[in-house]
Structure formats: C-alpha cells, structure tokens
Amino acid sequence: MHVVVCIKQVPNTTQVRINPETNTLIRDGVESIINPFDMYAIEEGIRLREKFGGKVTVISMGPPQADQALKEAISMGCDEAILITDRAFAGSDTWATSYVLSQAIKKIKDFNVILCGKQASDGDTAQVGPGISTHLDIPQVTYVKKIEEISEKSARVERMMEEGFEIIEIPLPCLFTVVKEINEPRLPSLKGKMKAKKAEIPKWSAEDLNCDFDKIGLDGSPTRVVKIFTPTPRKGGEILKGDTKEIVDRLASELKNEC
C-alpha cells in the first residue's frame, strides 16, 4: 500500500500574533513545527504500512526550511519525502495550494491513500485536504477517527460528527483527513533520526509539476484577504441588582436600546 501524507510546517504557538500594520502573522522568533493534526496523519500512514507493507511518502509545500518538517516525518518512520518549493507558489490560497499538491501527487502517480490532518493550526481552514481530492477527482472522507477496514479496493472508516460518528465505505484511491482521536503519534526513533539526518530531500518546482502558472501563487488564488485583525476582547456583562420589578424593567429597556 502506498500512502501519501501531506504535511504543513506551522509556527509553534497557540497565541499567533499579528502585525497590526501589515495584517500578517509575526513569525520571527517562533519555532516551526509540523502542524499537530498532521502528526496523526503521519502516524496513521506509518501504521498502514506496518500492517500492509508498501511505503509512506510525505510531501509538503513550503519554503526551503520546511525540509526540517519532512526530516522529522522521516525520523518517525516515513520512507520518502518530497519538498514542493518555488517562489512562484508564494501567496497561494487553499485552492492554489491544493492544486499544487494535487499536481505533485499526480507526479507520484501510484498511490492508494492520501492522508491529511483535518486542518492546519495556523490558518484553520480545513480546505486543503478536500481541495486536493477535488483536483484529483477522487473520493474523500473528512474528520476520520478510525479506519475500520482497508484493502486495495475499498475502505470503511468512521467519520467524527458532533454527536457520534458516521460509518462510510469508500472506494480507493481516496483521501482522508484525520482527527486527533484516530491514534497517538509515536516519538522519533534513533535509527529514524539518523536516517533523517542523512536524507537528501528532493525539491520539486512549479515547472517540475507542470503547473499552470495561472493557477498558482497570489495571482492564481481566488481568495482575497480583505482584513485580518485581532478582535477586541469582549467586555464583561453587567449584573443587575435590586428589586425584581425594577431590574426587569431596566433589563427590558436596556435590551430595547441595544436593538
């Protein structure tokens, strides 16, 4: 079984700060990590290989330093890694990004399953996984919490819902985005770390992927970010005290004024 895992390098912070003038993320001095949700995708990919044989290829689109995230994936046990990097990709939104990743997967060709984390911890869109399957015209299941059965032809998975879960049967090749309930990611191994240190990670450019240049980068991105801002913190509510009739009257008039 050939599993392709798509990962993203993100800043290691839950408190992302935004530059108020440029409305962009402040990345200076923030350590980069693999998007936490992608760790579950990596782990599930390795588990599928351990069970069925084959290999796990991990890919990432990002700047050259994203090779560190790919090396970490190798240290956990992924077999191969490819970095998709090109200045022409800069400014890509989720549509353009999923197009580029789908082009890379087309180049990889023989795959059975694509795994993604449910969303990235920086953008939180959860759109790239579904976008890839759309570009590749293959079926997808999002929010997978368990792969119950899987063969070369089809899979049966549990899809996390707000209350309970759905059981979905799906033909392969297909794409899953996974949630943290699916497994517990392993730590790297010493042999994996040594392999990662030596690993030469191939870099694929827009040209290598035969990308349509109208579909990538800022120009190829239909999304326009109008404004990013830090919402002002909510003020605490007011508790009315006193005689019941009086405070009911006040509450009613305040509510009327607010509307």
Partner 1 sequence: MSHLLTDEQKMIKDLCRQIAREKIQPVAAEYDEKEEFPWPIVKILAESDICGIYIPEAYGGMGGGILELAIATEELSWGCGGISLAFAATGLGTFPIILFGNDEQKKKYLPRIAKGTIAAFCITEAEAGSDAGSIKTTAVKDGDHYILNGTKQWITNGGEAEIYTVIAMTDKNKGARGATAFVVEKGTKGLDFGKKEKKLGIRGSATREVIFTDCKIPKENMLSKQGMGFIVAMKTFDYSRPGVAAQALGIAQRALDEAVKYSHERKQFGQFISSFQGIQFMLADMAIQVEAARAMVYRAARIIDSGAKDISKLSAIAKTFASDVAMKVTTDAVQVFGGYGYMREYPVEKLMRDAKITQIYEGTNQIQRSIIAAHLIKELKKK
Binding-site member from 22, 109, 163, 187 for partner 1 (CB under 8 A): 187
Could you tell me the smallest distance in angstroms from the CB atom of residue 206 to partner 1?
34
Cβ proximity to partner 1: between 31 and 243 the closer is: 31
Could you tell me the smallest distance in angstroms from the CB atom of residue 46 to partner 1?
11
- Report the C-alpha gap between 228 and 219 in whole angstroms: 19
Cβ proximity to partner 1: between 123 and 185 the closer is: 185
51 binding partner 1? (CB under 8 A): no
The sheet carrying 140-150 orders its strands as: 165-171, 154-160, 140-150, 174-178, 113-117, 2-7, 55-61, 80-84, 203-204
Please name the residues in contact with 186: beta carbons below 8 A apart, sequence gap of 6 or more. Answer: 43, 46, 76, 77
Binding-site member from 197, 202, 203, 249 for partner 1 (CB under 8 A): 197
Could you tell me the smallest distance in angstroms from the CB atom of residue 77 to partner 1?
10
What b/e readout covers 109-139, taking b as 16+ CB neighbours within 10 angstroms? eebbbbbbbbbbbebeebbbbbbbbbbbebe
Could you tell me the smallest distance in angstroms from the CB atom of residue 40 to partner 1?
16
Binding-site member from 189, 205, 223, 230 for partner 1 (CB under 8 A): 189
Task: Tell me which residues touch partner 1 (CB under 8 A).
Answer: 186-191, 193-194, 197
